[in-house]
A and B are shown apart, each in its own frame.
Chain A
Amino acid sequence: MVGGAGEKLEQELRRGVVVLAVLSQLRTLRYGYELRQSLVERGMPIEEGTLYPLLRRLEAQGVLRSEWRTAEGPPRRYYALSDDGAKLFEGLTATWRGLNTAMDDLLEGEHDR
């Protein structure tokens, strides 16, 4: 019972940071597969079925810009932060740092007891 619930709660926790993780890797142009590999290497694996649609959704919201490139092999769609996306990324990063500090305080408080 707790095992199943724990897995679900962990998924929810990770879901909350997926967008920030993706934006962090799109300060330079990357295509989907390359982005996924980059996230995996940094310890943040995101399922393909979640990541690829997310890129399109963020682009539709104006957070990302994209372009097709064919020069470096098969045609690939590359994504990067748009101007608005870059501002959003700064805001989300600040929020994340604030949350991180608060959570550290909370969790360390629990250890001290």
Chain B
Amino acid sequence: MTADELIDNYVADVVGLLPRAQRRDVALELRALLAEEVAAAGDDRARELLEAFGRPAEVAARYGPPVTLIDPADTRRFLTLAGGGAALIAYAAVLHELTERTGPQRDVERAVQQSLPVMLAWLGLLLAGFAIAAWRRRRRPDKGWRPRSVPTDRINRAGHAAALAFFVLGTLVLLDPARAVGAIAPAAREGFVYDEGFLRVRGPVVLAVLVVSLLIEAVLVWQGRWRRLLHRVDVVHGLVMCAVLTWVLGAGPVFAAAVTDEAAKGWVGLLVLVAAVDLAVKTHRLSVRHAMGH
């Protein structure tokens, strides 16, 4: 390839990435300038010179104001939300598969693969949201940082005490839901009888996890504030709770009646997803507090 052909090749690659209105003019000027550079350096150094000129995409980008879809300052948050959302969607697909299918029909890998369009839709929405936010900020810069109300370790003791009472009551109902429902609607009693298999191993494990959550809440009410150790115990407990409930969903029926079992598993699946998001938020806050030395 001759030096002129190399220059033409390079210029075509650059102007191909420019807005249409700019192409002809830039091509004319850039070709003349490069020809002059090559003439000064010698034809045999044309390729070396063009390589040193830069990647055509980078050179083309320098011809106009930079176009950024996502502000560099937002990129870390974008990646966190993109990765976190994609992981949550995959987890939801796994929970759905565990709930809907049993035995050889169950295929977790296929379920995750089938969730790919939802993940892509999430990424697309997120990208559009961040791009619109960046565009608006460029048009009307925000005022920067505004102080928020100072987060406090203190809790509303009365509120948490009421919540604890409610959770205790809920746990007592879960010990034997058939009896609790039967007391109100005897006809529905049969639908809420636990499966024998569930009662053997999974039931006691779930009960243990629930009791630990009651203990955490009780300690919180007693202390009147979140202490660092309790925060950590709460995060670990959240992790264990998600793992145990996922296992419960996948290891067989919870209720003997199929209709109740299906409905209960749907709600438990939703609860696990909410708990996973809550866990991620708590872990992040705990990490920030740790960095602040609180």
Contacts and interface: CB of A to CB of B under 8 A. Distances in A.
Contacts of B62: 49-50, 53-54, 57
B36 A33 contact: yes
Interface in A33-54: 33, 47-50, 52-54
B62 to A, nearest CB: 4
A56 B33 CA distance: 13
Interface residues of B, number: 21
A79 to B, nearest CB: 10
A76 B34 CA distance: 12
Contacts of B64: 57, 60
B53 interface: yes
Contacts of A57: 62-65
Contacts of B59: 49, 53
A91 interface: no
B26 interface: yes
B33 A52 contact: yes
Nearest to B64: A57
Nearest to A76: B32
Contact of A47 (B26, B36, B54): B54
Interface residues of A, number: 17
A48 B63 contact: no
A77 interface: yes
> Considering residues B29, B53, B59, B65, which has the most beta carbons from chain A within 10 angstroms of its beta carbon?
B29
A75 interface: yes
Interface of B: 22, 26, 28-30, 32-37, 40, 52-54, 58-59, 62-65
25 contacts: A31-B33, A32-B29, A32-B33, A33-B33, A33-B36, A33-B37, A48-B34, A48-B37, A48-B52, A48-B53, A49-B53, A49-B54, A49-B58, A49-B62, A52-B29, A53-B59, A54-B62, A56-B63, A57-B63, A57-B64, A57-B65, A74-B32, A74-B35, A77-B29, A77-B32
